[in-house]
Amino acid sequence: AEVIIVNNQEEAGQIYARCVADLIKEKPEAVLGLATGSSPLAAYEALAGIVHDENIDVSKVRGFALDEYIGLPLTHPQSYHATIHRTVVEPLGLNPELVHVPGDMLNGAGIENGEKIALAGPAYDRSIAAAGGVDVQILGIGTDGHVGFNEPGSSLASGTRIKTLAEQTRIDNARFFDDDVNNVPTHCITQGIGTILKARHLVLLAFGKGKAEAVAETVEGGVSAFCPASALQLHPHATIIVDAAAASRLR
Ligand code: F6R
């Protein structure tokens, strides 16, 4: 992977935004892979800025998000459906009907709907394939090396599927659920590592000291399910954009 060290999130966001804006100019029906979390926020803001300044037509742009909680109504403010619409679809002015989140077809159905949930993963992968695949996938990384909700131990060949959330991830995310871990869903649906690797260009963003270990393992460690992000080493076009703190453990 190519590693770019930047001064701050805004600079990283500009690199992503320039790349995606040029793609959309060339391919108006571009397919964007979207992530939630804090790491991509400056990149989405920068892209919205360029789209408005340069008057780029985004009416045909399509999007596929990485993951979603199981059992939250789509309208729940912490659902990734709502989050992607608030942070990407609205600021960029995308057509909401062209932007998909893996839980959409479950429409808030809970874990008791086992069969429906089992079918939703492969159906999501088929809809990505039917769209011609993802052109640029933006990614964040967890302190344990997770991408999407693929926690350590996830198969590097996995497709979209249901997963149990790691206890640490539920504790980390309790801040979005009235600081009560009991309110955090227990399961999620996430693109697999195999799904993510099919995107034509991966752009992973990581900022801050807390990510330094995971970034070093991803770039310089062995390819291993213990650090799911290390699968980026298998990808022919992966760009890793980090600040100095997140780069501090690289050799
Ligand atoms: C987001 C996602 C997660 C985050 C990761 C980093 O859809 O699936 O893998 O990218 O947890 O989160 P932040 O960016 O908030 O540090």
Among candidate residues 125, 146, 217, 243, the one labeled active-site is 146
What is the per-residue pLDDT for 168? 86
| Confidence band of 119 (pLDDT split at 50, 70, 90) | very high
Determine which residue's CA is closest to atom 8 belonging to ligand 1: 148
* C-beta 140 within 6 A of ligand 1: yes
pLDDT at residue 162 tops 90: yes
Strands 201-206, 238-243: pairing is parallel
The first and second tokens of residue 107, run together, are: 């429409």
Pocket test for ligand 1, best of 36, 85, 143, 158 (most atoms within 8 A of CB): 36
* C-beta 148 within 6 A of ligand 1: yes
pLDDT at residue 102 tops 90: yes
Neighbours of 159 (CB within 10 A): 17
Query: Ligand 1 centroid to 39 CA: how many Å?
Result: 7
**Listed residue (178, 108, 139) closest to 39, CA to CA:** 139
Among candidate residues 67, 104, 125, 243, the one labeled active-site is 67
Average pLDDT score over residue span 148-171: 95
* C-beta 147 within 6 A of ligand 1: yes
Active-site residue, 167 included: no
Pocket test for ligand 1, best of 38, 69, 141 (most atoms within 8 A of CB): 141
* C-beta 36 within 6 A of ligand 1: yes
CA 140 to chain centre: 6
Is residue 179 packed enough to be buried (19+ CB in 10 Å), middle (13-18) or exposed (0-12)? exposed
Question: For a pLDDT cut of 90, what percent of the chain falls above it?
Answer: 96
Domain boundaries, the chain: 2-243
pLDDT at residue 205 tops 90: yes
11 in Cβ contact with 247 (< 8 Å):
no
What is the per-residue pLDDT for 83? 98
Q: What is the reported pTM?
A: 0.97
Q: Which residues contact 62 (CB under 8 A, 6 or more apart)?
A: 29, 30, 31, 32, 98, 99, 100, 131
Query: Ligand 1 centroid to 213 CA: how many Å?
Result: 16
What pLDDT, in 10s, does the model give residues 33-75?
999 999 999 999 999 999 999 999 999 999 999 999 999 999 9
pLDDT at residue 79 tops 90: yes
Q: Mean pLDDT, the chain, as a whole number?
A: 97
For the chain, report the end-to-end CA distance as a whole number of angstroms: 15
Pocket test for ligand 1, best of 39, 138, 151, 204 (most atoms within 8 A of CB): 39
Average pLDDT score over residue span 168-191: 94
Active-site residue, 67 included: yes
Q: Which CATH class is domain 2-243?
A: alpha beta
ipTM of the assembly? Answer: 0.98
